[in-house]
Structures are given as C-alpha cells and as structure tokens.
Structure 1
C-alpha cells in the first residue's frame, strides 16, 4: 500500500518537560534478570535481550512515572521467532495494578509479527487489541510510543497512532491515573499460547533469539517518595503540554485508517467473549 511506503511523521512539541534524555541505558535502566543474557552496549546507547532454552531476560526503568510521553526504538527477533514474546510495557505493583502493554508475538519466517496491546486499570485487563505491522519490524529499528495523560492513553508506531484508550470514569471505567509505573521489557518463551494459540512451538535450533533497543526518551513526570517532578501537573504550562495532548483531526483519520487496515482483533467487537454485553468503554456513542 502507498501508505506503508511513506515515512510517517513524528510530531514533536517544543518545550516538553524532559525528565530522561535519550540514549543512555546505564542511566535509565537496570537489567533485572537473565544471568548475562541482557547486555548494555556501545557506551549505553544500545541494549539487547536474548532468549535461549534455559532462560530469557529483562530490564526495568530506574524511575517510576505518573503520566508521560515515552518512546523506545526496538528491532525485534528476526527469522523464525515463533513461540517468543517481546514485551515492552508500563506497570505498577500490587493486586490492583495498572498496566499499559505492547507485546510482540513471534512468527514463522515470512509470516507477520502480531502487535498485541492491552490496558489494565485497578487489576482489570481484558482490553486486547491486536495488529499486523505495515513493515518488517526485524529489519530495522522502529519507534513504539505511549502517550499517557489524565485524559487518554495513545499507542503509536513511528509516530502514527494505532490505539486510543480514553478516560471514561464517567461511565464507571477505572482509568490509570493514581499509581506510578515503571517501564519493563522482557524476551521470553511463550510457546504454550503465543503463536497460533500455542500450535507452533519454539524452534530452539534458532536460539539464541535477540531483540535490540535504542533511543529511549521520556517526557514525563517522575515520582519519588510520593512526590511528582511535575508539581501541580498544570496542563496549561508550556513545559507540560503533553499532559493535555490529544489527537488532532489528521491523527484521528490516521488512527481510523490503520485500525481499518491492520487491526486483526478488537475486544470491543468480540460479542462471543462478552455475551452479557460489551464493556462500557466500547460504547463511544
């Protein structure tokens, strides 16, 4: 499609309140598991996660965030990655946690990756939307972004929005707004469910599987000892413009186009899963 061959513009708002600058994984992240399978390279400019039959690996952010506009460039596991999952997400802790998920479900060589998204609020998820990507995510780095402010969560790929989850507390839908979240990422084996519902198993002769990360950037409010770096979170401040950012008409049309052409599952259309009625946030009328 012509759209898929055009470089998609990434909107940049001048004057953002930048908490974490791009480019140094030593500064921004801790490797948390994997027994040496995760590596920070190139003076902190590159991070790689690896998976073999014995273990996967993962990392987490040093900072906790309460609202932000967060970018990360990923290059996914190439070749036959069936059974593997590369997860990149924000999450709080506890029994009623909040979470904002990107998960990349591996594939057989030549088949498309599935990009899986979900939003948890107060421990409740079941809000999956899945997409095919309009490019090969293993051939080069691409930017995966989360805008999270008090009004909405927007998932974007290379600057183009693919999903918006609005604050619908007025309809009784909990919205993630009170719990600080860290950034997490992991590469792990999920061949019991990830590829065609678990029908296709991981081919360990292809191991180790490796995913790569670079150019992290967070325009965000960090939280330390219960105090936000953004103070009063005043959306009118030019430094915190993203706190009230919304999709303009161009991006609304782009979102609709991408969902029409690349969305392969939407929980808001799954009446078999919700026979008693779709969740209230699905009714946008």
Structure 2
C-alpha cells in the first residue's frame, strides 16, 4: 500500500515483500512501514509453508489505532499508534494498493550473495480472490465522512483496535518461532530504541 503513485519522497507505505529464496531454504517475508518517506522499520519472518505451492491470504488491517499484518489470518506483526502526535504512524494520507516484481538481489537473498537466475524467467506472480474493505477516498476538496472516527465501520470499532486473546497467542507463537529480524532489536542501526517499539502488545 502506498500514498503516492510515483513513490514520492514524502510517501506513506505499508509493505509485504517476498524475499529471494534459495532452493530448499525457508521462504522469507518482510514487512515494512513508511511515514512521510521514512522507512527502516523492517521485520522478517520465515513462513511456515511453501507460498509457491498454493494460494494463501495476506492481509493488512489499518486503522487509527494499529496496523496488523496477517498471513492466513495469523497476526505476524502488530504496529501500534500512540495517543500522542508522532512521526512513525502513517495516518494522514490515503493509500492505494499495488503489486510488483522487483529485482533486489543486491541485498534480498542471503544478504546479496544469491543472485537472480534470469534464465529461469519469465517470472510470474499470481493472485486470487482479492478484496478490499476500506474507506474509499474520492477526488475532491474534502475527505469522505468515513475518514473521521465515526464507529460506523467494523475497523473503527473496539474489537479492531487491539489483538484479541487468540490473536495474542498466535502472535506470541510467531514471535518465538518465526521472527528472523526485528529492527526494534537492532542496536547497530538504532542505538536508541525507536519509540514505537515500546507500544507492542505483550504476548505469551
């Protein structure tokens, strides 16, 4: 999801990224969050299945309280908002959804050691049953009524504001078994822990 068609420098963005794979190794999915052109909030997870064998669901819940990335309805990442003005939670710009195949073999597979084998092309990405349930933004001087916190939509009601007990258990399982990189734990990049990291829901 991105707020600008041309990926402008001040864009907001929510990313699901499938990183390069070496045959026989687990597939890795990366998520990232941009606010006003500033990203660097990557998390990487090993998937517990082969995503090329059949279709799976990849979903994003985005509301003023939180962003949650789901894989097959399992919350793999929660990114919470603060009740104070901040520079890390994208909330002011409408976004659209797009997908692409991007050559990132300078870093994406084993730190850039594994390069793309172009003889295996063409590369195809297939999608099925795409749906979007959202506040639709129309061109005009004023935002639509649904952009305000009215409570009329399911995503703007208390059950969607935080993970429920079952989701917290699932999130804890993911954290213990599947996380292979978390920017919140990277002291080389971030000697001071980013403020949003303290907002995560504690899991068991």
Q: TM-score, normalised by structure 2?
A: 0.88
Q: Which runs of 5+ in 1 are unaligned?
A: 1-89
Q: 1:237-276 counterparts in 2 under 5 A? A: 237=152, 240-244=153-157, 245=160, 246-275=162-191
Structure-2 separation of matches of 1:106 and 1:95: 26
Deviation at 1:283, TM superposition (A): 2.3
Deviation at 1:169, TM superposition (A): 5.2
Q: For residue 161 of structure 1, give the secondary structure of its aligned residue in structure 2.
A: strand
Decide which of 174, 184, 187 is 2:101's aligned counterpart: 187
Q: For residue 169 of structure 2, give the secondary structure of its aligned residue in structure 1.
A: helix
Which structure carries more strand by proportion?
A: 1
Number of aligned pairs? 192
* 1:91 equivalenced with 2:7 (yes/no): no
Name the Cα RMSD after superposition: 1.7
Decide which of 132, 136, 141 is 1:222's aligned counterpart: 136
Change (3 A) 1:271 1:232: closer
Structure-1 separation of matches of 2:85 and 2:150: 25
Q: 1:273-284 counterparts in 2 under 5 A? A: 273-275=189-191, 277-284=192-199
Change (3 A) 1:110 1:172: same
Structure-1 separation of matches of 2:154 and 2:64: 12
Deviations for 1:100-157, whole angstroms, at most 9, x for unmatched residues?
0000012111111110000111221111100000011000000000000010000000
Contact 2:80 2:199 in 1 (8 A): no
Structure-1 separation of matches of 2:184 and 2:83: 17
Structure-1 separation of matches of 2:84 and 2:172: 24
Structure-2 separation of matches of 1:149 and 1:174: 14
Q: Which runs of 5+ in 2 are unaligned?
A: none
* 1:132 equivalenced with 2:46 (yes/no): yes
Q: TM-score, normalised by structure 1?
A: 0.64
Contact 2:149 2:156 in 1 (8 A): yes
Runs of 4+ in 1 over 6 A off after TM superposition: none
Q: For residue 97 of structure 1, give the secondary structure of its aligned residue in structure 2.
A: coil
